[in-house]
Structure 1
Amino acid sequence: MDPELAALAATAGTTLVSSLTTEVWQRARDGIASLWRRSQPERAEAIAAELDTTRVVLMAAQGGGDADTAAELGAEWQGRIRRLLVARPEAAEDLRSLLAELTPAAAVTSSVTQHATASGQARVYQAGRDQNFTER
């Protein structure tokens, strides 16, 4: 398989599963079902039903603190999408368009507000990410 299509399938599996627990889950479901409808119409309804089941399983796993299920479901969908792309490489462009729509919603993170008060000789170091410094 073309490495670019394999990478696309990997990204799609992860993005799809991440989207299923956000406000755009219906768009993700409809987009993937539409992709199948154009490529393998006989499988489109089954794929939509499997996405519904995936969402239920994922939400239950998250509610129970199970972090491994999301990765497993992502790998499962990666395989399905990879097989679709092998059979119909022309579907890649439609998949890229769908991912472009879903990625901002899937990448949303919660905001962080930091407050600190230092008094006397105290120092406060805060960072939203990496922080490097050298004291002498």
Structure 2
Amino acid sequence: MELSPDLANLCLAAGTTLVNSMTSDAWAAARDAFLGFLVRNGDPASRELRLDSDREALRLASDDEKGLLADKTSAIWATRLEDLVERNPEAITELASLIKLIGSMPGSNAVTNAGVQQQAGDGGLNIFSGRDTKIG
């Protein structure tokens, strides 16, 4: 079964939120919440080891490696979550709630609403910047 773009985006957002929380002060609470979600939705408890090893790899990565490793780890978790929601569609609502929960935890550096959609016509120019953009 192929996932809808919305569902694939939800899984990617969840993977990104999870990985961002791995390097935050909210990790212990985020980890427990995420692990509970996995166990309740039929994913083996052995994922606990994966969560811990992924966090340790991010913690030990150099600043130069951290961004690429975080992107790769987020994509891997997104794929795992896609597999989980394909097997258990009832988990979709809980996954969306989990993203919000982790993003609201004190000390969290999770990005929970980062969608951008732009479109330029003929000869048009779109510029998006999170901050400090100088043109010209």
SS of the residue aligned with 1:106?
Answer: coil
- Using structure 1 for the length normalisation, give the TM-score: 0.72
3-state DSSP of counterpart to 1:102: helix
Looking at structure 1, the residues matched to 134 and 76 of structure 2 have their Cα atoms a distance apart, in angstroms, of 37
Deviation at 1:65, TM superposition (A): 2.8
Query: What are the within-5 Å matches in structure 2 for residues 1-136 of structure 1?
Result: 1-40=3-42, 43=44, 45-61=45-61, 63-66=62-65, 67-104=67-104, 105-107=108-110, 129-130=132-133
Q: Is the 8 A contact 2:31 2:51 kept in 1?
A: yes
For residues 17-56 of structure 1, give each alpha carbon's deviation from its aligned partner in whole angstroms, at most 9, with x where no partner exists.
Answer: 0110001111221122111211115x0x211111000000
Count of aligned pairs: 111
Higher share in helix: 1
Contact conserved, 2:18 with 2:110, CA < 8 A, in 1?
A: no
Cα deviation 1:52-90 (Å, max 9, x = unaligned): 0000011111x4531211111111111101110111111
- 1:129 CA drift (Å): 3.5
Distance 2:13 2:7 in 1: 10
- Structure number, greater radius of gyration: 1
How far, CA to CA, are the matches of 1:80 and 1:29 in structure 2? Answer: 16
Q: CA deviation at 1:2?
A: 2.5
| Aligned-residue CA RMSD (Å) | 2.1
Q: In structure 2, what is the Cα distance between the partners aligned to 1:50 and 1:16?
A: 12
Q: Which runs of 5+ in 2 are unaligned?
A: 112-130
